[in-house]
Each structure stands twice: as structure tokens, then as C-alpha cells.
């Protein structure tokens, strides 16, 4: 993961292992490569995880993770204004994924994305709450509109509160809750359609 960033910042973070987040950001603001390397090691999985779940492609997930982390380095002089590295990376990664999904939508790649999700993205089992197989859940996620997909990923994968997820998407809590409700409803509809050949199966999970 984050293969091309690591060699570029290969200076080992000797003596920084116990450094807290604020001190690391202050060091990054001074262009300390060792501090940045430690941030990559400590938090690099966050944007990669979000991108893998939203985009489904390991290659795209790597690209998004690298871009999110490199943005932190490029904005080094503003690093002191970052309140939380995990939160900042979640926001940037989500927005980068939404941009990538819009590009995919214009190229009509939804079917390919569904196949990628089914093959390469672990963790969609969270949607077993719908009482459906993980394979079908991943395909259903792939068919959601971009922002609905982001709402599901942030809420059920990243386990963010509605307030935090709304803030990342630049929405009010009320608007986000409406978005999440629509996303859940769309998933139920998609998953019920998958199981329509099973007697009485489509009624499970509603309420």
C-alpha cells in the first residue's frame, strides 16, 4: 500500500515513534520528511480503505490514497490548521473518490465497477444488516448514486456519526440523514430485487 510514496520519504522516523499528532503536523509544516513518513505509516490505511470501498479497484485505491497523503505534504505550510489527520484524510479521500466516480459515470463504467467490488473489496459484509449475501450487497453498493455510496461507506464502514459524515460531505445533518435514508431505501430495493426468486424473501429486513 502507498508503494510510491514510501521510497520518496524513506528517511526513517528515528525518535518520532511516540510523537503525538499535533507535533507531527508541526514538523510537517517545517517540511520534516521523517514526520511525514510516520504519518504515512500511521494513517495511510485510512484513505486507502475508503477508496477501496467506494471505488472497488485496488489500483484506484492506491492512487487516491497517494493523492490524499501527498496533498497533506504539498500543503505543508498549512498543516498546522489541520485539526485531525484521520478526519482530514477521510474528507479528502471521500471527495477524491466522488470526483473519480463522476468521471466513471460519464464513461458508463458502472457494470465494471460492480464486478471490481465483488472481486476485490472486503468488508461489505457490514450490509448483512439487510439480511443479504455480501456479494449482492457489494453489487448493490456499486449501483448507488455517488453521494449515497459515500454516505453508506462513511456511516457503516468508517463508523462515523451522522454529524461527522455530514461535515465531510459539506451537508447539514438533516440533509445527510435524508441522503442516508435514500441510500438505505435504494439498497433495500436493489437487494430485494436480487432475491425476488426466493419465496417471501423480498419482505425480510423491512420495517
Cα dihedral 174/103/127/206 (nearest 10): 60
Phi, psi of 69 (to 5 degrees): -70, -40
Q: How far is CA 186 from the centre of its chain?
A: 19
Residue 20 has a pLDDT of 82
Residue 202 has a pLDDT of 43
Tens-digit pLDDT profile for residues 38-83: 999 999 999 999 998 898 888 999 999 999 999 988 887 776 678 8
Tens-digit pLDDT profile for residues 110-120: 454 454 444 44
pTM over the 0.75 mark: no
> Are residues 45 and 1 in contact, defined by beta-carbon separation less than 8 angstroms?
yes
Three-state secondary structure readout of 152-184: HHHHHHCCCCHHHHHHHCCCCHHHHHHHHHHHH
Phi, psi of 8 (to 5 degrees): -70, -25
Q: How many helices (H) and strands (E) in the chain?
A: 11, 0
State how far the Cα of 20 lies from the Cα of 43, in Å rounded to an integer: 13
State how far the Cα of 151 lies from the Cα of 154, in Å rounded to an integer: 5
Amino acid at each position: 500500500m502507498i508503494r510510491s510514496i514510501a521510497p520518496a520519504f524513506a528517511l526513517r522516523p528515528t525518535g518520532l515513534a511516540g510523537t503525538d499528532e499535533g507535533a507531527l503536523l508541526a514538523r510537517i509544516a517545517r517540511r520534516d520528511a521523517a514526520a511525514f513518513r510516520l504519518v504515512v505509516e500511521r494513517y495511510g490505511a485510512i484513505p486507502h480503505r475508503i477508496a477501496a470501498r467506494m471505488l472497488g479497484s485496488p489500483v484506484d485505491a492506491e492512487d487516491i490514497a497517494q493523492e490524499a497523503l501527498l496533498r497533506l505534504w504539498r500543503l505543508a505550510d498549512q498543516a498546522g490548521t489541520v485539526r485531525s489527520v484521520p478526519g482530514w484524510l477521510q474528507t479528502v479521500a471521500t471527495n477524491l473518490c466522488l470526483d473519480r466516480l463522476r468521471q466513471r459515470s460519464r464513461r458508463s463504467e458502472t457494470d465494471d465497477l460492480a464486478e471490481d467490488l465483488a472481486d476485490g473489496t472486503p468488508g461489505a459484509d457490514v450490509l448483512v444488516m439487510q439480511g443479504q449475501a455480501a456479494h449482492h450487497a457489494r453489487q448493490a453498493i456499486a449501483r448507488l448514486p455517488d453521494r449515497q455510496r459515500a454516505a453508506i461507506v462513511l456511516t457503516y464502514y468508517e463508523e462515523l456519526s451522522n454529524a461527522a459524515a455530514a461535515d465531510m460531505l459539506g451537508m447539514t445533518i438533516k440533509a445527510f440523514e435524508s441522503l442516508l435514508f435514500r441510500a438505505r431505501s435504494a439498497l433495500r430495493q436493489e437487494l430485494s430485487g436480487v432475491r425476488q426468486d426466493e419465496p417471501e424473501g423480498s419482505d425480510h429486513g423491512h420495517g
